Amino acid sequence: MKLLFVCLLLGSLAMTPQPPKTKVIAHRGAWKNTNVPENSIAALQHAIALKCYGSEFDVHLSADSVPFVLHDHSIQGVFIEKTSAAELSKIKLSNGEALPTLESYLLAGKNQTQTRLILEIKTSQLGKARSLALTKKCVELVTKAGVASITDYIAFDFDVCLEVKKLSPRAHVQYLNGDKTPGQLAAAGLDGFDYHFSVLQKNENWLADAHQRKLSTNAWTVNDETIMQWLMDRHVEMITTNEPEKLIQLLNK
């Protein structure tokens, strides 16, 4: 009888669904511990080699409407949005790579399905029309490169998020700015949030609320083990980090 009880207990424990493991997203690729420039194709390749769930990167539009991958609005004193693609293509990163166009970056991430391409559409400093023009270009290039099935979108501009869903209804889109509740994101038809971890610490119920609404949850940019663990304890779906190696180790503890 006792044995039967133990068997039943073990059986029911085995059948209790465990929350899925938190997924690792390399912020601007895996660059910090590999000594390559952030947002370089080399950083993307390192994130793929680490088997990260995703590799994040940032995109701006050149003066003549070609999207380039980099974080800041300018590089080596050159303002991206006011410079032609021909001029930008002459710029070299510190590892000798050319400043990647979005097209070259997407093609480098193609032919693998391990690591998702997490495309951040940056907000233009020249106005909303340019942010929306960049959005359209990004969706077009993702389709053209044949990587739609492995690409997700993030943006700080709520209108940009809505525009991606309009242009590509099946695309997965997360909002970055932290000022919308899970209810507001769901009502707008977005897929989830990617919020700074401090927003989630301030609004402790947002993770549970988002899970209930079947929204995806992602926190940036978490490099500290204590905060990683705080988020994992609350079943955050993804963590975006400059330290993917550290997070992988923590997940495998």
The footprint of Mg ion (CB under 5 A) covers 58, 120
**What single letter denotes the amino acid at residue 164?**
V
Distance of closest approach, residue 221 Cβ to Mg ion, in angstroms: 8
Look at residue 21 and give its three-state secondary structure: coil
> What's the number of CA atoms in the CB half-sphere (13 Å) around residue 213?
22
Q: Which two tokens stand for residue 99?
A: 């400043």
Complex with Mg ion: residue 125 or 229, whichever CB lies closer: 125
**Cβ atoms within 10 A of the Cβ of 142, count?**
23
Task: Choose among 95, 143, 96: nearest CA to 119.
Answer: 143
Complex with Mg ion: residue 58 or 81, whichever CB lies closer: 58
The C-alpha R_g of the chain, in whole angstroms, comes to 20
Distance of closest approach, residue 220 Cβ to Mg ion, in angstroms: 8
Distance of closest approach, residue 238 Cβ to Mg ion, in angstroms: 14
Under a CB-based contact definition with an 8 Å cutoff, are residues 120 and 151 in contact?
Answer: no
Chain residue whose CB lies nearest Mg ion = 120
Complex with Mg ion: residue 26 or 186, whichever CB lies closer: 26
**Cβ atoms within 10 A of the Cβ of 101, count?**
19
Distance of closest approach, residue 12 Cβ to Mg ion, in angstroms: 43
Complex with Mg ion: residue 206 or 220, whichever CB lies closer: 220
Complex with Mg ion: residue 39 or 186, whichever CB lies closer: 39
Distance of closest approach, residue 56 Cβ to Mg ion, in angstroms: 6
Integer angstrom CA distances of residue 108 from 86, 103, 192, 195: 20, 9, 27, 27
